[in-house]
Amino acid sequence: MTRSIKGVTPYLSVPIALVAMLALLVGTLPISAGEGGIAGARFTAALVGAEENPPVTTGATGELELTLVDAGTMLFTLSYRTLEGGDPAAAHIHIGPRGANGPVVIPFCGAGGKPACPASGSVSGTITPADVMALPDLGVAAGDLNAVLTAMRAGNTYANIHNAQNPGGQIRGQISGG
């Protein structure tokens, strides 16, 4: 004898339940952004003088927020305050682990065809593969945003703000997340 639950026979109940569970699971998965990662992935950094190499004594601070939109686009906001010894000359992402200096790979402002950095406050914009500088010694080709994202996820990138008093950087923060 076959029982009926609200008009559905048991052998149909199992497939319906499986389809419903699969739909719920798929609906919660992140949207792919190709090889670059997951759309909506976020990266952050807290910038302070103590993270510079060598460390800088300063009351200046900053924050970086990056969001991956798709395989070829990231949005960024870099905020900073209380810079000492001049307005920011340039701000960028460098490739390098904590405590080590590394080369610039993506400019935010003041270099690489980007507008001048504002004296204080924040700068926001879009990063695309066209912003990625070639670093052949580190295996990064010009335009290879995926290589930069890989370095970011590994903790091998940092944001840095440079000015006249501290040309090597006044505040710095290791980028994490993703």
Q: Given this model, what pLDDT does residue 100 score?
A: 97
Determine, yes or no, domain membership for 36: no
Grouping H, G, I as helix, E, B as strand and the rest as coil, residue 134 is coil
- Cα separation of 43 and 147, whole Å? 15
Determine, yes or no, domain membership for 51: yes
- Cα separation of 78 and 158, whole Å? 12
Claim to verify: residue 21 and residue 48 sit in the same structural domain? no
Contact 145, 32 (CB under 8 A): no
The pLDDT of 114-134, averaged and rounded, is 95
Label residue 7 by pLDDT band (50, 70, 90): low
Claim to verify: residue 164 and residue 102 sit in the same structural domain? yes
The domain total for the chain is 2
Write down how long the chain is.
178
Claim to verify: residue 79 and residue 165 sit in the same structural domain? yes
Residue 7 CA: distances (Å) to CA of 12, 20, 43: 10, 18, 51
Q: Reply yes or no on whether the pLDDT at 10 is more than 90.
A: no
Contact 102, 94 (CB under 8 A): yes
Q: Given this model, what pLDDT does residue 178 score?
A: 87
End-to-end CA distance of the chain: 55
Q: Reply yes or no on whether the pLDDT at 48 is more than 70.
A: yes
Range of the domain at 73: 42-177
Claim to verify: residue 81 and residue 155 sit in the same structural domain? yes
Its pTM stands at 0.79
Determine, yes or no, domain membership for 37: no
Determine, yes or no, domain membership for 35: no
* CATH code (residue 150): 2.60.40
Claim to verify: residue 20 and residue 46 sit in the same structural domain? no
DSSP output for 18-29: HHHHHHHHHHHS
Claim to verify: residue 65 and residue 142 sit in the same structural domain? yes
Determine, yes or no, domain membership for 62: yes
Determine, yes or no, domain membership for 53: yes
Determine, yes or no, domain membership for 129: yes
Claim to verify: residue 24 and residue 61 sit in the same structural domain? no
Q: Reply yes or no on whether the pLDDT at 166 is more than 60.
A: yes
Contact 50, 86 (CB under 8 A): no
Q: Taking the CA of residue 48 as centre, how many other CA atoms within 13 Å lie in the half-sphere pointing to its CB?
A: 7
Site of tokens 């103590």 = 50
Interval 15-32: pLDDT, tens: 444 334 433 333 333 333
Q: Reply yes or no on whether the pLDDT at 55 is more than 60.
A: yes
Q: Given this model, what pLDDT does residue 25 score?
A: 36
Phi then psi for residue 57, to 5 deg, are -85, 115
Contact 94, 51 (CB under 8 A): no
